[in-house]
Amino acid sequence: MTTTSTRTAPTTRTWIIAVFVAFTLSGLAIATWLGRIPSVRDSLGATTFEMGLLVLGMAVGSIGGLTFAGHIVAKVGARRGVQVASVCLAVGLVFAGVAVTAGWGFAAIWIGLIAFGFGNGLVDVSMNVSGAAAEKAGGRTIMPLFHAAFSVGTLAGAGLGALTEALDVPVVLHFAVLGVVVCLVMLAAASRFGDEHRYEEHESTATSPTPVQLTRWQVWAQPSTLLIGVIVLGMALAEGSANDWLPLAMIDGHGLDNAAGSAVLTVFLAAMTAGRIAGSPLIDRFGRVPVLRVSAAVAVVGLGLLIFVDVIPIAIVGVVLWGLGASLGFPMGMSAAADDPRSAALKVSAVATIGYVAFLAGPPLIGFLGEHIGLLGALLVVFVFIIAAGLASGAARETGAAAETLRKRRGRDDGDHGAARDQQPDAAQPGGGEPRLQTDRPHHGTDDTMADPAASGGTRADR
């Protein structure tokens, strides 16, 4: 026990930093491929349709990675999951780069992208499981900041991609250097991950003397999995549709030129990043459900301004609101899926799989509708799914240790307000107030040890 305590004291901080690194590198790796798509298209002489089929290879690999990730993480842990994923990312990226430069053709690049996509799906689940556990260890909401780090990584990768395109750097050199760097640094970062199972024993004693490990199919059969999946699906579609179609929607629907349309996408991405950075303290103060409902409402208002108001400055304000509203849904969905550590890996895998449907089906669906009713009209599909995410937000309510931690934080905040709060004893937030959290599930004595890293060998210094 002494050895565990000595090791754990500095680990929470380094664990959180290591997860930040993994999220950043994951975004960097994806944007490395996306940033060189023009060169890949020129090398193949491919049509837009053929490039769509090529990108489908990465999507197929990602679904495979997500499908097996729950089992891999449950068996060997998130640390090993990220390490295996980092090798897949590097091998896939380097192989695809060699195939492009050597002229091996469409099929060879497709094989590389399948391996790359598998690594992407596996690292997505693994780092989210570890990030959710690090969030518990730290005692405060961090998941939106992890996803903000992913956004920063994509921005850095896109910038490097533009630079290498401008300098005419060979694709194989670019992919090889980035693939090796991402792999080595991610391997080192994952080695600093904490053990996400350190809460599992306490969760078991709090619920029953004989904990039951759920199977993948049992996890999928839980209504909470499907409802959290609806949240993630709606918000992932809100994010992905902007990445795919916002520039063209501004050009075709609002008459901007190409440069201005691309600039509006940058505004959206900046709003997403800002929302994820600013959202963590709001979630700590009010809980996931109220923040999700407000986020969905803000996104709906923003998207409505973009679609229905034909005044460019107001449309751009709508884009900002859209980005802010869409920023927190995916990370909060991942946190909610990981509340129960016994099923965290499988549930995060299931929810992430549902979310990835948005990235697979969203672009062709919106593109098909856009040809018939215009892109702005086609974005009404996103409008509907964001509303559905808001309606399903109650499924993300904190449970177990997460609920106890939120209750304690609220208790500290209430103490800071003193008599002012005493005069308003019934002013709980609808849908996210403390009275409802207290009845989510019975709290046993062991819940306090779960919420406190010191009970698992850590110290209060971890926080």
| Residues 240, 244, 245, 251, Cα dihedral to 10° | 140
Q: In terms of Cα–Cα distance, which of 52, 36, 33, 280 is closest to 148?
A: 280
From 147-151, 329-333, 356-360, 457-461, the region with the lowest mean pLDDT: 457-461
Q: How far is 448 from 443, CA to CA, in rounded Å?
A: 9
Name the amino acid, one letter, at 233.
L
From 43-57, 111-125, 181-195, 202-216, the region with the lowest mean pLDDT: 202-216
> pLDDT at residue 367 above 60?
yes
Residue-wise pLDDT for 394-448, tens only, equals 998 888 766 777 777 666 655 555 444 444 444 344 434 333 333 333 434 333 3
Q: In terms of Cα–Cα distance, which of 344, 346, 360 is closest to 401?
A: 344
Q: In terms of Cα–Cα distance, which of 15, 270, 272, 233 is closest to 142?
A: 15
- Residue written as tokens 């990030």? 131
Confidence at residue 211, expressed as pLDDT on a 0 to 100 scale: 47
**Dihedral sign computed on CA atoms, order 178, 183, 185, 190:** positive
Q: How far is 326 from 322, CA to CA, in rounded Å?
A: 6
Q: How far is 124 from 146, CA to CA, in rounded Å?
A: 11
Name the amino acid, one letter, at 222.
Q
Q: How far is 125 from 128, CA to CA, in rounded Å?
A: 5
Q: In terms of Cα–Cα distance, which of 72, 35, 56 is closest to 161?
A: 35
Confidence at residue 320, expressed as pLDDT on a 0 to 100 scale: 96
Q: How far is 95 from 89, CA to CA, in rounded Å?
A: 10
Q: How far is 325 from 170, CA to CA, in rounded Å?
A: 39
Q: What is the pTM assigned to this prediction?
A: 0.72
> pLDDT at residue 204 above 70?
no
> pLDDT at residue 6 above 60?
no
**Dihedral sign computed on CA atoms, order 344, 70, 152, 191:** positive
Average pLDDT, the chain: 80
CA distances from 61 to 65, 89, 127, 176, 371 (A): 6, 11, 18, 20, 29
Structure tokens at 98: 């060699």
Q: In terms of Cα–Cα distance, which of 307, 288, 318 is closest to 431?
A: 288
Residue-wise pLDDT for 68-110, tens only, equals 888 898 889 999 999 999 999 999 999 999 999 999 989 999 9
Confidence at residue 415, expressed as pLDDT on a 0 to 100 scale: 59
Q: How far is 19 from 186, CA to CA, in rounded Å?
A: 9
More confident residue, 162 or 322: 322
For range 219-247, the mean pLDDT: 86
Confidence at residue 456, expressed as pLDDT on a 0 to 100 scale: 37
Structure tokens at 195: 């053990």
> pLDDT at residue 317 above 60?
yes
Name the range with the highest mean pLDDT among 276-285, 301-310, 403-412.
Answer: 301-310
> DSSP string covering 385-449, please?
HHHHHHHTGGGG---HHHHHHHHHHHHHHHHHHTHHHHT-TT-PPTTT-HHHHHTSS---HHHHH
Confidence at residue 414, expressed as pLDDT on a 0 to 100 scale: 58
Q: Output b/e per residue, 44-64; b: 16+ Cβ within 10 A.
A: bebeeeeeeebbbbbbbbbbb
Residues in the chain: 463
**Residues contacting residue 146 through CB under 8 Å, at least 6 positions apart:** 19, 20, 23, 127, 128, 131, 331
Q: How many CB atoms lie within 10 A of CB 414?
A: 13
Given a contact cutoff of 8 angstroms between Cβ atoms, the answer to whether 241 and 294 are in contact is: no
